[in-house]
A and B are shown apart, each in its own frame.
Chain A
Amino acid sequence: MDKTTIICRCEEINCEEIEEAIGHDARTFDDIKRLTRCGMGPCQAKICISLVADVIHEQTGSHLHEIPLPRMRMPISPIKLETLATNSTTFSSVKSVMDEVELEEGKVR
């Protein structure tokens, strides 16, 4: 592949940038993603994932089936916040920083 070939269209990452990450010992799609943002765009790697695998294979010689795939997470395709929200304002796992401020006899500890 040409160094200037765009691998990730969403984030405009070219082949050279992927190769540089591999030069820094990145080995998986996620390693490369965190170093370059490749795969963090709106399509969430649907377009670039196989191209990245090709570059990893080319650069490291590892076989395609040996390259760990990223974990698929919600949402598989973009979803509006209002669709996720249930409009409740009681929280259990989600905390408020103010609630964490502890007072002892009316004073901040």
Chain B
Amino acid sequence: MESSYETVVIGGGVVGNSIAYHLSERYQEGILVLDKKYPMTGTSGSTQAWVWVHNKTPSWYAEFSMYSAELYPYLSKKIGDVEYKRTGGLSPFFAEKDREKAKQLADSYRKIGIKIKVLSREEVLEKEPSINPNVAGATYSSIDGNVNPFRLIDMYMRAAKKNGVQYSTYNKVTSIEKQNGTFMVTSDKKTYVCKNLILAGGTWSRELGNLLGIDIPVNQLRGQIIVTEPLKPFLNYTISGLRQAINGEVLIGYSMEKAGFDRSTTLDVIQETANMAVHYVPSLRKAKIVRAFSGIRAMPEDGFPILGKVPGHENLYVAATHSGVTLSPLIGTLLTELILDGETSVPIDRYSLSRFA
């Protein structure tokens, strides 16, 4: 393997892989992806993988997510079947007081082109007969869906490799230096020289920034998921809280805890998650849980993606975010435009690291 590259991407999760793949559509030589372990060992391998838009707030962030969701059908045409399904997304509520909030959401998002319906109890049950009949209503949008995260990353990688991207895994970056306009990236295996450097280290972004003396304010937020045995298809929609995968398994969970980098599965959260499951879909009581997993979200300090150029460092870029599965097609597209054309088709100034300065 050479040691000189045009562009090095640190981090082979869904974000780093999308950037590498989209770059490789424009130029085929000199792209290297480095990962301290293996793609999917990070957060991208322990995710719900909803492609979710409709109740993200504020509206500009929902709009950004919508652009990404809209790229999915085209992406799957290009890289192959990633089991993307635009099922539509359903967010049930059980208290009547939430209806007003739901209506506000639907009203203000109509203006930006995200169609949200506020469903009555009867309409929810008609759409999704398995939902708890005590439901008060739900918001619904056809833009939401889900994807198989493993297939997604595998396909990004295969397509990128086909376009000439090189990968070096089990190869941790330990120091980065800037010399005469190039970066010297030292890893466990070797030192690489490159012109462009992209930091896509997910929840480890703060550490990566430290190697360059840059503050990337990303914190850790744990999420735990439980998985049922394969059940016959019975859920029609991606419900905010659970979804049924193509093979029939139901992935359940929407928890958030500050636990640093600890990826344990804990009984208290698993029980709460089970409670949510039977509260939303009572027939799940009898379903068996075969598996549980836990992942650490990258949570930027203000909750929004950190994307784009690193101020004051020429040819240095960062992409660190939660909801990286939803956003990966757009992030890959826009970072490629930024690197090759110097500007992006959708503005990303709002997401600049400079906002924390």
Contact = CB atoms under 8 A, between A and B. Distances in A.
A75 B227 CA distance: 10
Given A94-B269, A101-B105, A88 B290 contact: no
B169 A25 contact: yes
A14 to B, nearest CB: 17
Contact of A40 (B104, B265, B291): B291
Interface stretch (B184-192, B203-211, B253-261, B327-335): B253-261
Interface in A71-109: 71, 73-75, 78-82, 84-89, 91-98, 100-103, 106-109
B285 interface: yes
Given A81-B278, A85-B278, A108-B58, A98 B91 contact: yes
Contact of B273 (A71, A94, A100, A101): A94
A97 B240 contact: yes
B289 to A, nearest CB: 5
B255 A82 contact: no
A74 B275 contact: no
Contact of B278 (A25, A87, A95, A102): A87
Interface string B183-227: 000000000000000000000000000000000000000001010
A27 B269 contact: no
The interface size bin for chain B is 35 or more
B167 A100 contact: no
Contacts of A93: 224, 255-257, 268-269, 272
Contacts of B284: 81
B38 interface: yes
Contacts of A106: 104
B57 A109 contact: yes
A88 to B, nearest CB: 5
A85 B275 contact: yes
Interface residues of A, number: 44
Contacts of A42: 229, 290
Contacts of A71: 263
A35, A71, A93, A107 interface centre (most CB from chain B within 10 Å): A93
Interface in A46-84: 71, 73-75, 78-82, 84
Contacts of A27: 38, 169-170
B286 interface: yes
A98 to B, nearest CB: 5
B154 interface: yes
Contacts of B167: 25
B101 interface: yes
Contacts of B70: none
Given A78-B290, A82-B278, A25 B267 contact: no
Interface of A: 24-28, 30-31, 34-35, 37, 40, 42, 44, 71, 73-75, 78-82, 84-89, 91-98, 100-103, 106-109
